[in-house]
């Protein structure tokens, strides 16, 4: 087990589970190097279905170098409608080629605009919008360019295959990549982009919100400069931290920082005199971003719990006494390992061996909490870990009883991410092909291979 890159440690990903040296290399030299296709779980009616019963138009979009939120904003602007009428199942990376579903309420197929670098294909109508739960997973084809040590990939594969099987490091490595797919496993961390790839602060905003520190949340998002940002942006954020002058911040913040500017504009309007004013200013950003702040705080806690589990040497592929497991989702598409977090069971000494067998056969998954108001923490040593992490961060489940979009009841999430992986090498370039269940991150698998700055 090796220590992770500092920027990953800052969001709770403290270790790599592969001891092998990394391959290095670069991600996303072109958008086509990072291809993502949604594995859909959403049924539609024909395009000419009754718009009264089926008011949502559904279309599949191939986006090239588009942030999902930015595309939704561009789409709503072209249609002249509220952005809140645009829905999708999963937020994708910007520097990529992605294929995903969107739905828009109250428009006809003929209304769909032409948008640069977006191929839009209308697929039907639906009685409700597409939601996060409608995404089963994603298929990935990702190329790492100019690897400094591509020969190390075989050793990483061997380590990850052993971890996914609940075994120790392999005694021997062949030095060659497997022919075809091999099942591998990694901790099911939330990836860097959950927190901001260049400026990982969304969890800091969410933690402040959960503590009721509304002004602190605004400063964490609007101020809080990062050395990875352009100089003008750093200077504007530093001005915010030093002065709390929201009108002056509006003059200095680049136009590209639309959400930060919206918050400042609201603070200029409401006077920025009370905690309620700062809470109201955060509500100026889109509702899905409000939710993301709190989700990022939950994700940070989850990552910390997984890192602590690694430190203690607890297994990821099977439970110990006190764990909470989720049973497999019987409706998951073939080839996707997907837990049903509505069907959980606490593991007692009497049930331990039975639940171990369920995990061995892929019928159950060890979980950790995404903490919310209804979260029941584990027992035994897993529960000790969860409580210690929360105490260290200064949070409790009740802290997520929050107003509006910030409220969260919580859920649980599998601690182990398994997938069938194929790796093809062409000189110093390696292409990784695999599928992941919804909510899991391709970069969490790739970080084990690259072992370096996630933004490189």
| Catalytic residue positions, numbered | 93
Between CA 450 and CA 175 the distance in angstroms is: 17
Strand runs labelled E in 329-415? 339-346, 364-370, 411-414
Q: Rounded distance, CA 191 to CA 203, Å?
A: 12
Which H, E and C letters describe 266-317, residue by residue?
A: HHHHHCCCCHHHHHHHHCCCCHHHHHHHHHHHHHHHHHHHHHHHHHHCCCCC
Strand 182-187 and strand 135-144: pairing? unpaired
Residue 255 has φ and ψ, to the nearest 5°, of: -60, -30
Longest dimension (CA), the chain: 66
Distance CA 99, CA 37 (A): 5
DSSP for residue 92: -
CA distances from 243 to 91, 222, 239 (A): 34, 12, 6
**Which candidate, 88, 82, 51, places its Cα nearest to that of 69?**
88
CB 300 within 8 A of CB 203: yes
């Amino acid at each position: 087990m090796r220590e992770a890159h500092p920027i990953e440690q800052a969001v709770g990903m403290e270790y790599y589970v592969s001891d092998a040296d990394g391959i290095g290399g670069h991600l996303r030299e072109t958008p086509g190097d990072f291809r993502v296709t949604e594995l859909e779980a959403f049924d539609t009616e024909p395009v000419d279905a009754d718009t009264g019963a089926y008011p949502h138009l559904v279309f599949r979009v191939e986006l090239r170098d588009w942030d999902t939120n930015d595309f939704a904003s561009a789409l709503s602007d072209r249609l002249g409608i509220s952005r809140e009428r645009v829905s999708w199942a999963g937020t994708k990376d910007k520097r990529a080629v992605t294929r995903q579903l969107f739905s828009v309420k109250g428009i006809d197929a003929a209304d769909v605009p032409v948008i640069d670098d977006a191929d839009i294909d209308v697929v039907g109508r639906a009685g409700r919008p597409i939601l996060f739960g409608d995404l089963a997973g994603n298929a990935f084809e990702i190329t790492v360019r100019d690897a400094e040590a591509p020969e190390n990939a075989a050793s990483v594969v061997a380590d990850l295959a052993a971890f996914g099987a609940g075994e120790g490091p392999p005694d021997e490595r062949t030095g060659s990549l497997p022919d075809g797919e091999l099942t591998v496993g990694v901790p099911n961390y939330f990836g860097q982009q959950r927190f901001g790839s260049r400026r990982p602060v969304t969890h800091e905003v969410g933690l402040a919100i959960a503590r009721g520190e509304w002004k602190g949340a605004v400063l964490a998002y609007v101020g809080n400069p990062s050395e990875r940002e352009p100089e003008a942006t750093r200077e504007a954020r530093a001005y915010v931290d030093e002065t709390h002058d929201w009108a002056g911040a509006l003059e200095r913040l680049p136009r590209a920082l639309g959400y930060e500017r919206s918050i400042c504009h609201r603070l200029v309007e409401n006077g920025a005199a009370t905690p309620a004013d700062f809470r109201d200013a955060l509500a100026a950003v889109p509702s899905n971003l409000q939710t993301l702040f709190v989700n990022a705080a939950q994700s940070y806690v989850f990552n910390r719990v997984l890192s602590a589990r690694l430190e203690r040497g607890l297994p990821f592929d099977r439970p110990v006494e006190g764990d909470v497991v989720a049973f497999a989702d019987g409706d998951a598409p073939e080839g996707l390992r997907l837990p049903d977090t509505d069907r959980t069971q606490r593991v007692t000494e009497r049930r331990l061996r039975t639940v171990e067998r369920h995990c061995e056969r892929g019928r159950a998954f060890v979980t950790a909490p995404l903490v919310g108001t209804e979260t029941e923490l584990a027992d035994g040593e897993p529960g000790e870990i969860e409580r210690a992490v929360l105490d260290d961060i200064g949070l409790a489940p009740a802290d997520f009883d929050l107003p509006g979009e910030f409220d969260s009841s919580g859920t649980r999430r599998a601690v182990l991410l398994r997938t069938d992986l194929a790796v093809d090498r062409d000189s110093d370039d390696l292409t990784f092909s695999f599928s992941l269940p919804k909510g899991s991150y391709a970069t969490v698998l790739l970080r084990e291979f690259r072992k370096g700055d996630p933004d490189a």
